[in-house]
Structure 1
Amino acid sequence: MSLADGDRARGWRALAALQNRIEDRIERALQEAHDLSVNEFCALHLLSQAGEGHLRMQQLADRLVLSQSATTRLVSRMEERGLLTRTLDAADRRGICARSTEAGRRLLAKAVPTHNSALDDALAEASELPELGPLVTALESLDVKVEESASA
């Protein structure tokens, strides 16, 4: 292993540590305040950002970075809670789309401030750690819309 490979591996481990720290903080906050998981929040957020107000199940899986089966289980749980519905794709009747319900949109609106506050807290805490501070600085300097990148 070359020095560059070792640096890259350390960088990857630091990035994974930052991601885990952030996700854990957000998960706890969303569960406590809204009985909502990070994946449920992300699904509702992605659906709210979709131009047509819905996404095909494969698109949702790709954007959530989940398998088809994990996405199906997630959507089923959310459907049972009345947060979203599944419908046939009007453009291609073979496809199934997920669409948030009014209850899902209301819950998302309530959860966004909780999510943002937990994210801010996690980043502030991580920025104080020497191994994660540079990553937080780099993250805060980005001006990227992840959803647009994922759909490209």
Structure 2
Amino acid sequence: MTATDPALTALAQGWCALSLLHSRIETHIERALQAGHDLSVREYSLLDVLNRQHHGPGGHLQMRQVSEAVLLSQSATTRLVTRLEDRGLLTRYLCDTDRRGIYTDVTDTGRTLLAEARPTHDTALREALATAAENPELVPLVRTVEELRPLV
């Protein structure tokens, strides 16, 4: 394959379209969450991921798992957790069975904010997808996103 290979060019164009769609969606959601709830997309995602965990065996996520879920490095995730903890939205405590383990839970205040922000997030996502669907190059990607089912 050479740099001028049509297959490589098509692949690069597809990647650019996907990147453009992601950027537009994230920017639209970010603005809506910031304006309505003083939350970033990453903060919302972290609260959402942590809110889905449960108590009991295997219920709490390790920081590595949280990092993977919110697509951040472990150090960036730790800084994000600290910011949300400082705002009273999260709390950390030691694991009962492994003193090296630290659990992170969403506080009642964090759950309330997440519940208030969820409709904003969902509306902004639908709006961003509808706007993107006006671009013929993005229509197939929008359709694919709309047809995706949860991985769980």
Normalised TM-score (structure 2) = 0.90
In 2, distance between residues paired with 1:31 and 1:138?
27
* Aligned partner of residue 11 in structure 1, secondary structure: helix
In 2, distance between residues paired with 1:134 and 1:51?
37
Among 59, 62, 87, the residue aligned to 2:93: 87
Q: Greater shift after overlay, 41-50 or 53-62?
A: 53-62
Q: Alignment length, in residue pairs?
A: 146
* Aligned partner of residue 118 in structure 1, secondary structure: helix
* Aligned partner of residue 46 in structure 2, secondary structure: helix
In 1, distance between residues paired with 2:89 and 2:61?
14
Normalised TM-score (structure 1) = 0.90
* Aligned partner of residue 55 in structure 1, secondary structure: coil
Q: Cα deviation per residue 1:83-139 (whole Å; 9 max; x = unaligned)?
A: 001112234221222110000000000000000000000000000101111100111
In terms of fraction of residues, the more helix-rich structure is 1
- Match of 2:132? 126
2:68 is the alignment partner of 1:65? no
Q: Greater shift after overlay, 82-91 or 25-34?
A: 82-91
Contact 1:58-1:68 within 8 A present in 2 as well:
yes
Among 35, 46, 50, the residue aligned to 2:49: 46
Structure (1 or 2) with the larger CA radius of gyration: 2
Percent identity over paired residues: 53
Query: Which stretches of structure 1, 4 residues or longer, exceed 6 Å deviation after superposition?
Result: none
Q: What stretches of structure 2 of length at least 5 have no aligned partner?
A: none
Q: What stretches of structure 1 of length at least 5 have no aligned partner?
A: none
